[in-house]
Amino acid sequence: MPPIPESVSELDRHDPLAPFKARFALPEGVLYLDGNSLGAQPLAARDALAATRDQWRDELIKGWNQGWFDAPERLGDLLAPLISAGKSEVVVTDNITLNIFKLLGYITELQGRSRPVILSEGGNFPADGYIAQGFCHCAGFEHQVLPEGGALADYLDDRVAVVVLSQVNYRTGRLRDMSETTALVHAHGAEVVWDLAHSAGALPVNLHGSGARYAVGCTYKYLNGGPGAPGFLYVHSDHQNRGWQPLSGWHGHAAPFAFDGDYAPAAGMTRFRTGTHSALTYAPLEASLQLWQDVDMAALRKKSLALGELFRDCLTDLLEAEGIDDITMPQEERGSQVAFIHREHGYAIVQALIARGVIGDYREPGLMRFGFTPLYLSYADVWQAAQHFREVVESREYLEARFQIRSEVT
């Protein structure tokens, strides 16, 4: 591999986010472009997990009085500024699937079940559609799908109760205009639940500024909370305290330790909690969210786009010569990822890169996805990853039989 060009080293020397890399535990010899699937490990998260492990041993049940019980609200308040939400508007709990179900129940109850349709997106991560289907099946609503590329306005009418939309598409990285879309949905008398899985921690999310009332997201991607770290749920303060959510659990009760026979929802976001949560998953996430308090989101966005452009610029000629489609969106409509398609060999190319320690990921059909996480990726890392991509493709090493074997989980 040629030496890193001076122009690339220069970018790193002037990078205001460069010091964050030392706050992560990164394995040797890995260039990690998959922080959009599972974020890397903050050093402080390691320590926090070890401390909670000892707290379980030493404090036993008393740990619940020492920060475990109110972690969902405390971490929600730490997360809120990253998505321009206010204090007491975010709770960290369960996962995206369950949180969407809660919001569909909550919103349709507020609407008096006056509209029968739940609309979800085609061509996006299908989990949001699966749970919309489950909700409809259970609660007696009708599920409809907005096809990929379809104009949302054409699918909104007075039968639509709620639309579930991702701010950033998991495949293409397409960024929706949250303000414009929210206004459109509200103008039709419907509500929108925003899924921030690929935007929270990837770019500045402006919930308050865009008029968004409801959102969900995860914390194990850009927010570095650990594998399967809990999800979160946002309700604008003006829309809180209006009804039940259907997954009514004792941690969401107004007085959980009174052991009343009847459910009475707690005030604020607490009612969106269900049962006992894992203290061990909140500890590393809390440490990571504390690290995030120091991040300038505008600088993050600037570097995210610059890293993606560097990667693409290094490969323009190669992609054209090899017939690999670059479906990456223009910068203003992009999350924090670059997406290439090669129907025939996309899977094998990604496997060959992984064998070299360059971790991107693959999504059917044919999509090679590379995520850019400005806190722990340098410009030099990205330049090197692009060189590996070039070498893998030019050398045809992806044709080796070992790279064709599909693993169960990719």
Please enumerate, by residue number, every residue annotated as part of a binding site for pyridoxal 5'-phosphate. Answer: 96-97, 195, 198, 220, 250, 276
The residue annotated as part of the active site, out of 271, 273, 363, 369, is 369
Q: For residue 119, which phi and psi values (nearest 5 degrees)?
A: -110, 130
Q: Which residue has the tokens 């770290």?
A: 229
Q: Are 243 and 106 in contact (CB under 8 A)?
A: yes
The annotation places the binding site at 96-97, 195, 198, 220, 250, 276
Angstrom distance (rounded) from CA 305 to CA 295: 16
To the nearest 10°, report the CA torsion of 55, 290, 215, 93: 0
| DSSP summary character for residue 239 | G
Nearer CB in complex with a second copy: 30/78: 30
Distance CA 230, CA 212 (A): 22
Report the residue number, 11 or 40, with the smaller CB distance to a second copy.
40
389 included as an active-site residue:
no
Residue of 106, 135, 141, 220 marked active site: 220
Cβ-based nearer residue to a second copy, 210 or 274: 274
Which of 69, 125, 130, 155 is catalytic? The answer is 125
In the complex, the smallest distance separating the C-beta of residue 209 from a second copy, rounded to whole angstroms, is 28
- Indicate if the alpha-carbon torsion angle 33, 34, 35, 40 is positive or negative: negative
Please say which residue, 3 or 29, places its beta carbon nearer to a second copy.
Answer: 29
CB of 156 to a second copy, least distance (A): 20
Judged by DSSP in three states, 202 sits in coil
Active site residue 369: yes
Q: Which residue, chain included where needed, has tokens 């919930």?
A: 207
Rounded to the nearest whole angstrom, what is the least distance from the CB of residue 154 to a second copy in the complex?
18
Nearer to a second copy, 224 or 328 (CB): 224
Catalytic residue flag (residue 302): no
Q: How far is the CB of 42 from a second copy (least distance, A)?
A: 10
φ, ψ (nearest 5 deg) of residue 2: -65, 160
Over its C-alpha atoms, the chain yields an Rg (Å, rounded) of 22
Print burial letters for 355-388: b (CB count within 10 Å at least 16), e (below 16).
ebebbbbbbeebbbbbbbbbbbbbbbbbbbbbbb
Separation CA 354–CA 340 (nearest Å): 16
Residues 223/45, Cβ–Cβ less than 8 Å: no
Q: Please report which residue ranges of 168-245 form alpha helices under DSSP H.
A: 178-187
Give the residue with the Cβ less far from a second copy, 30 or 318. 30
**Residue ranges with strand state E in 258-391:** 325-326, 337-341, 358-359, 361-363, 367-371
Active site residue 125: yes
How far is Cα 160 from Cα 152, in angstroms, rounded to an integer? 11
- CA 326 to CA 315: how far, in whole Å? 10
Is residue 195 flagged as an active site residue? yes
Closest contact distance (angstroms) between CB of 382 and a second copy is 17
Smallest distance, a second copy to C-beta of residue 400, A: 19
Give the catalytic positions in this structure: 125, 195, 220-221, 369
